[in-house]
Each structure stands twice: as C-alpha cells, then as structure tokens.
Structure 1
Amino acid sequence: MAGARALKLGNFAHELADLRAHQEREAGIASARIALRRQGEIDCRSCGEEIDPARRRALPSADRCLDCQQRLERYRRRRT
C-alpha cells in the first residue's frame, strides 16, 4: 500500500513539474511577444547614434544599433 501511494505521489510530482515548466514557457513566450510589439528607439540606447532604418524596419522594437546589440550579446554569453 505504501509503495502504491509513493508511486502516485511521485507521478503527481512529475506532472506538477511538467505543468510548471509549461506555464513558465508560456509566460516567456507572452513576455517576448509583448517586447516585440513595443515601439523601439530611433537612437541607440548604448552609443546614441541613429539606428539604421533597415534594422528598425526588420525589428521595430530595436533599441540598440546592430553593433551595440552584438557587443551586448557577446558580453552576456561570456558571463554565462
């Protein structure tokens, strides 16, 4: 009897973990959608230069020029 109860609790724990992971994924997707819908900047928030109009058309939510965005992403990758 105790073994069956432990198995049920184990299955419940796995199902709960799966549900939580699904909820976190959905929240991340919703957050990304909101971020992509927001209006970007005309001038780069890092260097102050104008963001290339082609970049703003391709990614209207851009707030950094391509060079500064790439620099930021390289920095973040090194930190992890």
Structure 2
Amino acid sequence: MADIADFANDLVQERLDQALAARSALKPAIAAHSFMFCEGCETPIPLARRVAISGCTQCVSCQTIDEARKARHA
C-alpha cells in the first residue's frame, strides 16, 4: 500500500525526468564549439573541418583511429 512518502518520491522523480527531458531538448539548439587543436595529437584542425563538423575535437587522422578503435570494441 502506497503512503504519502511514496507519492512524494514519485512526484520528485517525475519532475526530475521532465527537467532532464527539457534540458536534453535544448542541446541540439546550442551550437557546439569546435576545438582549434586536436585533443589527440594537438595539431591544428583545419577551418573547413571545424565549420563543416560543429563541435569537432579531433583531426581527421585521430578521428579515423578513434572510430576504428570503437568499431573493434563494439
């Protein structure tokens, strides 16, 4: 049998879920900032790549290696 504490917990969880959903919905609207230098090898990332791929953090070489590594572990 549910008591007042159970109802309160359910209400809090529902509000948290709504807040997280609202926050997640805003993420695509915010433009991600691209790095000037690769986080893997610290070489400059070309402007064309930074413009084409919003939020990029790696150069093409490091990104390729990273994707190959993730594909092996998938």
TM-score normalised by length of structure 2: 0.59
Give the superposed CA RMSD: 2.6
2:40 aligned with 1:41: no
2:57 aligned with 1:54: no
For structure 1, which runs of at least 5 residues remain unmatched after alignment?
A: 1-25
Percent identical among aligned pairs is 25
The structure with the greater share of residues assigned to helix is 1
Q: Distance in 1 between matches of 2:25 and 2:44?
A: 29
Kindly provide the CA deviation profile for residues 22-65 of structure 1, in whole angstroms up to 9, marking residues without a partner as x. Answer: xxxx8xx848726x721010000000000011101101211100
Q: Distance in 1 between matches of 2:36 and 2:57?
A: 7
Indicate the structure (1 or 2) with the bigger Cα radius of gyration: 1
Q: Which amino acid aligns with 1:43?
A: F
From 26, 43, 66, the equivalent of 1:72 is 66
Aligned residues: 53
For structure 2, which runs of at least 5 residues remain unmatched after alignment?
A: 1-20
TM-score normalised by length of structure 1: 0.55
Q: Distance in 2 between matches of 1:70 and 1:32?
A: 25
